[in-house]
Amino acid sequence: MLLALGTGLRQGELLGLKWKYLDLIHKTVTVKHTLKDVTEISRNGKRNYTVKISTPKTSSSLRTVPVPDALISKLKYHKLSEKQKHFKNIIPFSEDNLVFTNEICNPLCRNAITSSFKRFLVKNNIPVRKFHSLRHTFSTQLFKSGVELLTVSKLLGHTNLETTKVYTHVSEAEKENAISKLNKIFI
- Residues 137-146 pLDDT 10s: 999 889 888 8
Beta strand pairing call for 22-23 and 47-54: unpaired
Please say if the pLDDT value at position 154 is more than 80: yes
pTM (two decimals): 0.84
Q: 162 vs 122, which has greater pLDDT?
A: 122
